[in-house]
Amino acid sequence: MERKKITLSIEKLKREKKLSRRLKITLIILLLLLLLIYFIVGIVYNSGNFSITLDRNLYFEKGLIIYDDSDYKVYRTELYAAPPTTFDNISYRWLPDNLEDSEGGSHNGDNYLAYTFYIENLGQDVSDYWSEVIIDDAIKGVDNAIRVRIYRDGKYVTYAKLSARGTAEPDTVPFESDELVVREHVANFKPGDISKYTIVLWVEGSDPECTDNILGGEFQIHMDFKSEFVEE
């Protein structure tokens, strides 16, 4: 009987050690997954709320470039806008009237992002391009109250998601879909032509969907310049 008790105790101890080992391995795997998620989110959001990408074909085949400094016109596939220090909700009435007057780069204000850049045809032929503004990610539904204003050569349009009632928000053009803000085709872009863009992002405080529910929300948007339109 004594030998049987000893045998049972040893087997129980082995089971407990095995269970403890499995638990440690599971915790380590979960920790690694959390670190991976943190790393990925960090990559996404540390680049700011807005970025611009240029299709390589636009440069190599058509000679188009993007830049935010007229003294530094070099080929780049991507530009990044610095995020504002704070991003609380504001009214569109608080935005300055001269946002498109910036010469280039970030010129953020209180609770809004503003970024100016250029696309230029350095090639030998008349060209065209497609531009798209895409929402990459939105947390806690903050995109329901976001406004995206796009100036092109001094003229602007303000875009917003449809209201909860399915109607356009006042003084805005609706997003083309939940993820696509707008798609535009620019034709007859001649050698030497330059288009100036200014992008302004803010959370509109007068939007009925700007409630406490979106507190702590985040969003990520980018603009693509493409050589052709491919429907996905």
Tell which residue, 134, 221, 218, 214, has the closest CA to residue 181.
134
Domain assignment present for 206: yes
Domains held by the chain: number: 2
H, E, C per residue of 153-177: CCEEEEEECCCCCCCCCCCCEECCC
In the structure encoding, which two tokens stand for residue 5, read together? 């008790």
Helix (H, G, I), strand (E, B) or coil at 151: strand
Mean pLDDT of 142-151: 94
Tell which residue, 42, 219, 217, has the closest CA to residue 137.
219
Domain extent, residue 108, equals 49-226
**Are 144 and 162 found together in one domain?**
yes
Query: What's the predicted TM-score (pTM) here?
Result: 0.78
**Are 139 and 215 found together in one domain?**
yes
Domain assignment present for 231: no
**Are 42 and 53 found together in one domain?**
no
**Are 156 and 182 found together in one domain?**
yes
Residues 6+ apart with CB under 8 A from 76: 54, 65, 66, 67
**Are 115 and 222 found together in one domain?**
yes
pLDDT digits (tens, 9 = 90+) for 167-215: 999 999 999 999 999 999 999 999 999 999 999 999 999 999 988 888 7
**Are 184 and 79 found together in one domain?**
yes
**Are 100 and 16 found together in one domain?**
no
pLDDT digits (tens, 9 = 90+) for 54-79: 999 999 999 999 999 999 999 999 99
**Are 96 and 184 found together in one domain?**
yes
**Are 38 and 123 found together in one domain?**
no
